[in-house]
């Protein structure tokens, strides 16, 4: 390995090089290659001249057309949401069965595990930071939770269990069949999948290092459990950052192996070093990173401006604690720069500024709507079984899968308060990919823009929210409204 990988840079040089913003040329090459792998895409990424990169149409889109389905680079379901929805830990499709979804939720409810609910909004939007919820970011579709207040009632003993075991079949549930649950390869019992393919893909992408099961490839499973617990108690953005680090380490190892093989075949291969493999592995993340978390996190409303310094120091210290725990769990000497506070802070900053709400609609909602819309005699018959279950579930009988994720292409889309596109899940979009639809006709060469905030808000409110993203909007709508803003 020594002969293969001479480390000629100092550690701090390596960190600085990792954190240097990618040059426009490098970014262009990266996105050209990324997009060329998806032959069907009618978009390109290029510099927009004013504020870095942007996404541009390469073809014409009509109103309502699908512009893009963007698979996430890394994503995670919110910890609290795991109580409500059982989804594939890789593609985030609902799994199991309607009975399992309901039985599991009731079972956890009975155990008294409290869950903080936010209403689901199928319109994905940019997250404005810690614990951002969809409800802050626009209209709610009402698709995921019931609006009428229903009191929870208890079910007879054994019903919950038989829902979970599958012994109790709900009427018409076969019309809403879900993929079977595939367990994690490492045996952690925490991650579940919709297929062997997703289980394998997640394992290879990052889970082999973050699995707490017997086959985990982490340095210490105990340390991993401690890291996860800390993230769950403080901020689950750390879980996303851990996925980004693990993703980079595993990618680095693959690139290194390929590099060694290449050297074995051809002694004249040059440029194959630890730093070069690490930079290559880091590239997808580097395309999104911007600033350190403690510098870019928006000041919460309950923190006085005079306490800003103390607040930012506190966030830095929290990040440091999380990093020490992660280091004890998955440290890799060859990837040591990834474990510096600066790099960790930038990774989390990237999620803070770029992350998007991950939302997948629940089939349980569809199921109860179906029952509700049955002809009256069939409905009465079905409700003899489903009504008590619906009452036991209570108000939030159906909650969407919610989390945060980094979508490489959507993250290149600039904001406009009069956007020509929006992130919106259609009926058929039942996985964790971002879906971008045209709001109006878009012509070849036009920039594709989305709104990071609710564009119907008054001018000043929009600017306040956009300040969290570090800019003041100068879109045509803002330029027109600005002179009248304070009148």
Q: Is 354 in the site for ligand SAM (CB under 6 A)?
A: yes
The strands making up 356-360's β-sheet, listed across from edge to edge, are 74-77, 401-406, 356-360
Query: By the 8 A CB rule, do 383 and 54 touch?
Result: no
Q: CB under 6 A: which stretch of 77-85, 145-153, 425-433, 467-475 binds ligand SAM?
A: 467-475
Which residue in 78, 105, 312, 415 binds ligand SAM (CB under 6 A)?
Answer: 415
* Nearer Cβ to ligand SAM (81/354): 354
- If the CB atoms of residues 191 and 297 are measured against ligand SAM, the closer one turns out to be 297
Instruction: Check residue 145 for interaction with ligand SAM (CB under 6 A).
Output: no
CB of 241 to ligand SAM, least distance (A): 18
Candidates 158, 254, 372, 471; binder of ligand SAM (CB under 6 A) is 471
Q: What is the rounded CA–CA span in Å between residue 107 and residue 112?
A: 9
- Smallest separation (angstroms) from ligand SAM to the CB of 52: 2
412 is a contact residue toward ligand SAM (CB under 6 A) = yes
Between CA 347 and CA 356, with CA 350 as vertex, the angle to 5 degrees is 125
Q: How far is the CB of 238 from ligand SAM (least distance, A)?
A: 21
Least Cβ distance, residue 49 to ligand SAM (angstroms) = 10
Report residue 13 as tokens.
């040089």
* Shortest distance (Å) from residue 467 CB to ligand SAM: 10
Chain mean position to CA 12: 30
24 near ligand SAM, rule: CB under 6 A: no
Min dist CB 409 to ligand SAM, Å, is: 10
Q: Is 443 in the site for ligand SAM (CB under 6 A)?
A: no
- Taking CB atoms within 8 Å and a gap of at least 24, the contacts of 319-325 are 319/293, 319/294, 319/344, 319/345, 319/348, 321/230, 322/227, 322/230, 322/231, 322/234, 322/238, 322/241, 325/223, 325/226, 325/227, 325/230
3-state helix, strand, coil in the chain (%, to 5): 45, 10, 45
Q: Which is nearer to ligand SAM, 192 or 415 (CB)?
A: 415
Both tokens of residue 164?
């979970």
Tell me how far, at minimum, the Cβ of 448 lies from ligand SAM, in Å. Answer: 11
Query: Per CB under 6 A, does 475 bind ligand SAM?
Result: yes
Interacting stretch for ligand SAM, rule CB under 6 A, among 221-229, 429-437, 438-446, 464-472? 464-472
Q: What is the per-residue DSSP string for 425-449?
A: --TT--SSSEEEEESS-B-TTPEE-
**111-119, 293-301, 332-340, 408-416 -> range binding ligand SAM (CB under 6 A):** 408-416
Burial of 234 (0-12, 13-18, 19+ CB in 10 A): middle
State the nearest-atom distance from the C-beta of 419 to ligand SAM, in Å.
10
Q: Name the segment binding ligand SAM (CB under 6 A); options: 77-85, 157-165, 327-335, 413-421.
A: 413-421
Radius of gyration for the alpha carbons in the chain, expressed in angstroms and rounded: 24
For 41, residues 6+ apart whose C-beta sits below 8 A from its C-beta are: 35, 58, 68
> Residue from 137, 404, 414, 463 that binds ligand SAM (CB under 6 A)?
414
CA atoms within 13 A on the CB side of 274: 19
Q: CA 126 to CA 455: how far, in whole Å?
A: 12
Neighbours of 247 (CB within 10 A): 22
Nearer to ligand SAM, 240 or 329 (CB): 240
Report whether 255 contacts 277 (CB < 8 A). yes
Distance CA 347, CA 237 (A): 10
Is 132 a binding residue for ligand SAM by CB under 6 A? The answer is no
Return the bridge partners of 57, or none: 43
The CB-of-332 to ligand SAM minimum distance in angstroms stands at 28
278-286, 292-300, 397-405, 406-414 -> range binding ligand SAM (CB under 6 A): 406-414
Q: Determine, following the binding rule CB under 6 A, whether residue 469 of this chain makes contact with ligand SAM.
A: yes
Q: Which is nearer to ligand SAM, 52 or 142 (CB)?
A: 52
331: left (phi over 0), alpha (psi -120 to 50) or beta: beta
Residues 38-67 that bind ligand SAM (CB under 6 A): 51-54
In the complex with ligand SAM, which residue's Cβ is closer, 54 or 138? 54
**Closer residue to ligand SAM, CB minimum distance, 313 or 474:** 474
Which of 411, 420, 435, 451 is close enough to bind ligand SAM by CB under 6 A? 411
Question: Smallest distance from the beta carbon of 208 to ligand SAM, in angstroms?
Answer: 30
Give me the residues that bind ligand SAM (CB under 6 A), please.
Answer: 51-54, 353-354, 411-412, 414-416, 469-471, 473-475
């Amino acid at each position: 390995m020594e002969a293969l990988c001479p480390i000629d840079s100092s550690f701090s040089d390596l960190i600085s090089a990792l954190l240097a913003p990618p040059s426009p040329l490098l970014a262009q090459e990266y996105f050209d290659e990324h997009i060329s792998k998806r032959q069907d895409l009618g978009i390109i990424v290029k510099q927009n001249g004013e504020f870095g990169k942007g996404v541009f149409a390469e073809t014409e889109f009509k109103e309502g057309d699908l512009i893009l389905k963007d698979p996430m680079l890394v994503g995670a379901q919110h910890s609290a949401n795991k109580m409500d929805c059982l989804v594939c830990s890789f593609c985030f499709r609902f799994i199991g069965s309607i009975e399992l979804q309901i039985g599991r939720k009731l079972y956890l409810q009975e155990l008294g595990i409290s869950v903080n609910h936010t209403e689901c909004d199928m319109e994905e939007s940019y997250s404005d930071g810690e614990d951002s919820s969809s409800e802050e970011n626009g209209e709610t579709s009402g698709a995921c939770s019931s609006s009428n207040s229903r009191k929870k009632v208890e079910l007879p003993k054994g019903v919950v269990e038989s829902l979970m075991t599958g012994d109790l079949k709900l009427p018409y549930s076969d019309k809403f069949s879900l993929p079977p649950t595939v367990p994690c390869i490492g045996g952690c019992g925490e991650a579940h999948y919709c297929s062997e393919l997703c289980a394998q893909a997640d394992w290879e992408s990052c889970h082999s290092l973050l699995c707490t099961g017997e086959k985990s490839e982490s340095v210490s499973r105990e340390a991993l459990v401690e890291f996860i617990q800390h993230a769950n108690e403080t901020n689950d953005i750390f879980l996303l950052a851990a996925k980004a680090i693990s993703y980079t380490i595993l990618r680095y190892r693959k690139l290194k192996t390929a590099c060694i093989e290449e050297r074995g075949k051809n002694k004249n291969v040059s440029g194959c070093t630890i730093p070069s493999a690490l930079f290559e592995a880091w590239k997808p993340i580097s395309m999104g990173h911007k600033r350190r978390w403690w510098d870019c996190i928006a000041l919460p409303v309950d923190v006085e401006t005079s306490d800003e310094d103390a607040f930012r120091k506190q966030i830095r210290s929290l990040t440091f604690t999380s990093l020490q725990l992660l280091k004890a769990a998955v440290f890799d000497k060859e990837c040591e720069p990834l474990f510096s506070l600066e790099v960790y802070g930038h990774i989390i900053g990237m999620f803070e500024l770029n992350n998007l709400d991950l939302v997948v609609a629940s089939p349980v909602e569809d199921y109860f709507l179906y029952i509700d819309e049955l002809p009256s005699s069939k409905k009465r018959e079905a409700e003899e079984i489903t009504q008590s279950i619906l009452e036991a579930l209570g108000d939030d009988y159906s909650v969407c899968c919610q989390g945060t994720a980094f979508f490489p292409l959507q993250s290149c889309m600039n904001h406009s308060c009069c956007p020509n596109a929006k992130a919106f899940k259609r009926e058929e979009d039942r996985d964790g990919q971002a879906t971008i639809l045209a709001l109006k006709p878009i012509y070849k060469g036009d920039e594709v823009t989305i709104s990071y905030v609710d564009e119907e808000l008054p001018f000043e409110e929009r600017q306040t929210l956009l300040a969290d993203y570090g800019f003041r909007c100068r879109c045509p709508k803002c330029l027109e409204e600005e002179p009248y803003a304070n009148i």
